[in-house]
Amino acid sequence: MKYTQQQPANKQSGVALITALLVVALATIIAVNITERQQYDIRRMQNLLNNQQAYYYAIGGEAWAKGLLYKDYKDDQRKNGTDNLYEDWAQPLPVTLIENGALSGSINDLQGLFNINNLYIKDPKNAADKKQLTEQTRVFNRLLAILEIDARITDAIIDWLDNDAQSSTNGAEDDVYLQKTPAYRAANQMMNNVSELLLIEGVNIKIYNKLRPFITALPEITTINVNTAPAEVIAALSGQLTLEKATNITEDRGSAFNTTKDFIDDTKNYARDKNKYEGDIATLIGVTSGYFQVNSEVKIDTIYKQLVSTVKRNTDGSVNILTRAPKDDQAITRQ
């Protein structure tokens, strides 16, 4: 009896103890969760800060490039210089340590590449414009042949650039693109970025990747700088050159060609027919450049950022940013 009388009190204290334990356990769980959450938030905040910092360092890399290109302009003015691979701007910025990471960068000459927008002139005003167009198409077709790419894509590329909706022989216009899923239209204007090629009928990723190292998309008709062009582009300039001979030219490019005449005089021995050679290339080439690509790479903690900017150096040496994008060609932004 005595025992059974005491039972409710024991039961009560037992329940109270369990409740207390539960409360402690619950409080512990909540405390652990809060701490974990805080650590997660701190990490997330740190990543956001690092990301932002990496971006600003990359912009700093761009500013470094602009400064170098302006300095080069000043140097060139003094000595009537060219743009070539022996100059300061063409040397990569070695990996430089920064707080919690590293920065590196490089500048490439875009005028060493074939400008895809050279394939179309909106209103050819005279015979020279028409000749220029024919020559540019020939150069591009020779580049395709060197890279073993089906030359039928040239018509589709020109249709993509020209402002009419009339398909040329192997071309494609809205009637082809509107049947795709999702449907789209031909740009009918200059390309902003070479990645637009992937939208063009007949151009697949394999063709694009083969072409990509040798082409660019610049906002005006440009000459090819023979001081920086790779052998494939030099070979495409004239039907009188082979890739082998063009490789000899780029390998022997020990110092810069000071004028286009110097280039022709120094390289005509490589041509099959010396007399045709000059006529082929005289109007297509140059020894200076106005368009460059700036690559900035930044690593801060676990964040890695690559920024690719297209810049234009104007005739007064000032440098404008035309496009700025992550390395993968996505999200093109114009300033």
User: Quick one: which of 62, 72, 196, 201 contacts Ca ion (CB under 5 A)?
Assistant: 72
Rounded-to-integer distance, Cα 25 and Cα 301, Å: 37
**Smallest gap from residue 281 Cβ to Ca ion (A):** 21
Q: Whose Cβ is closer to Ca ion: residue 186's or residue 303's?
A: 186
- Cβ(118)–Cβ(222) below 8 Å: yes
Q: Whose Cβ is closer to Ca ion: residue 83's or residue 155's?
A: 83
**Smallest gap from residue 270 Cβ to Ca ion (A):** 25
For 13, 53, 298, the CA distances from 99, given in Å and listed in that order, are: 60, 10, 11
Q: Whose Cβ is closer to Ca ion: residue 76's or residue 278's?
A: 76
Q: What does DSSP say about strands 224-225 and 333-334: parallel, antiparallel, or unpaired?
A: unpaired
Q: Whose Cβ is closer to Ca ion: residue 57's or residue 257's?
A: 257
Give residues 98-127 in contact with Ca ion (rule: CB under 5 A). Answer: none
Q: Whose Cβ is closer to Ca ion: residue 88's or residue 265's?
A: 88
3-state secondary structure of 272: coil
Q: Whose Cβ is closer to Ca ion: residue 76's or residue 262's?
A: 76
Q: Whose Cβ is closer to Ca ion: residue 242's or residue 293's?
A: 293
Token pair of 95 as six digits: 């990996």
Rounded-to-integer distance, Cα 215 and Cα 35, Å: 53
**Smallest gap from residue 88 Cβ to Ca ion (A):** 9
**Smallest gap from residue 120 Cβ to Ca ion (A):** 9
User: x-or-dash pattern for Ca ion, window 155-194, by CB under 5 A?
Assistant: ----x--x-----------------------x-x------
**Smallest gap from residue 146 Cβ to Ca ion (A):** 27
**Smallest gap from residue 174 Cβ to Ca ion (A):** 8
Amino acid identity of residue 315, one-letter, is T
Q: By CB under 5 A, how many residues form the interface with Ca ion?
A: 9
Amino acid identity of residue 303, one-letter, is I
Cβ burial, residue 104 (10 Å; 0-12/13-18/19+): middle
For 10, 11, 21, 262, the CA distances from 7, given in Å and listed in that order, are: 5, 6, 21, 112
Token pair of 205 as six digits: 């990723």
**Smallest gap from residue 104 Cβ to Ca ion (A):** 22
- Other CB atoms within a 10 A radius of the CB of residue 333 amount to 10
The b/e string for 146-174 (b: 16+ C-beta within 10 A; e otherwise) is: beebeeebbbbbbbbbbeeeebeebbbbe
Contacting range for Ca ion; rule: CB under 5 A; set: 72-80, 102-110, 127-135, 203-211: 72-80
Residue 3 phi/psi, 5-degree rounding, is -60, -50
User: Quick one: which of 62, 83, 201, 297 contacts Ca ion (CB under 5 A)?
Assistant: 83
Residue ranges that bind Ca ion, judged by CB under 5 A: 72, 76, 81, 83, 87, 159, 162, 186, 188
